Amino acid sequence: MRSDTRAIVSVVTDGAGSPAAARAIRAASVLFITALTAAASQVSVPLPFTPVPLTLQPMIVVLGGAALGARLGMLSQILFLAAGIAGLPVFAASPILLPGAARLLGPTAGYLWSYPLAALVAGALAQRGFDRRYVTAVLAMTAGLGVLYGGGVLWLAGATRSVGAALAAGFWPFVLADVVKVLAAGAILPGAWRLIGAPARHD
């Protein structure tokens, strides 16, 4: 069945009264995740031993990607980056990181550039039914989180010329908190599927 290859937002739009209404709902959903990513960046805790702040963005990126699906999830994060490049205050407030487009060349750039790909991966797995059950939803979002951390740590390693220093600055201080957030968020999409009356899986 086609519902096996669609994320929950696409399934919900099937109930729209017309193709125009469905497109409007999808566009609003993309913009909502873009805005939510920007809002999550404002919940930022700077740490004294690393230029990378602690934020809620990684959870929003992968959860939003899983909800929207691969294409729309990636688009939501491309729009987020475009807003930052345009100078809108969407990036995490920081006393040491440059604002605007310059942020995409700074020490946290690897994470930011990885947002669209992380959302794509989480969304692609969701479209394969990973978002229907708690354990697989967590796996889908963890895969997206892995992409995000991979991009961030590789960028830091290039800047510091030390994998150990990159892990110390951009992985170890954050991974436990992000895993806990993903474990909490893992129940959201399976619960949403139950609310709309969809079965746990289609085989």
What pLDDT digit, counting tens, does each position of 156-175 carry? 999 999 999 999 999 999 99
User: Do the domain assignments include residue 71?
Assistant: yes
Number of structural domains the chain divides into: 1
Is 186 a member of any domain?
yes
CB 73 within 8 A of CB 64: yes
pLDDT at 13 (0 to 100): 87
What is the Cα–Cα distance from 104 to 96, expressed in whole angstroms?
Answer: 14
Is 137 a domain residue?
yes
Tokens of 8: 């929950």
The Cβ-side half-sphere exposure at 146, using a 13 Å CA radius, reads 8
pLDDT tens digits along 59-86: 999 999 999 999 999 999 999 999 999 9
Give per-residue pLDDT as tens, 14-29.
777 788 999 999 999 9
In a domain, 155, yes or no: yes
Residue 122 lies in a domain: yes
Instruction: Please indicate, yes or no, if residue 202 is contained in any of the structural domains.
Output: no
Least confident of 4-8, 20-24, 38-42: 4-8
Mean pLDDT across the chain: 93
The reported pLDDT for the residue numbered 178 is 96
**Banded model confidence at residue 102, pLDDT cuts 50, 70, 90:** very high
Residue spans of beta strands (DSSP E) within 151-191: none
CATH code of the domain in which 102 resides: 1.10.1760.20
Per cent of the chain over pLDDT 70 is 95
Report yes or no on 12 lying in a domain: yes
User: Residue 175 in 3-state DSSP?
Assistant: helix
Rounded to whole angstroms, the Cα distance separating 158 from 179 reads 25
Q: Determine the structural domain holding residue 185 and report its residue range.
A: 2-195
Please name every residue paired with 45 in a beta bridge, in sequence order, or none if there are none: 54
203 within a domain of the structure (yes/no): no
DSSP conformational letter for 130: G
The residues, any chain, with a CB within 8 Å of residue 163's CB and separated by 6 or more, are 153, 157
Chain CA centroid to CA 112, Å: 10
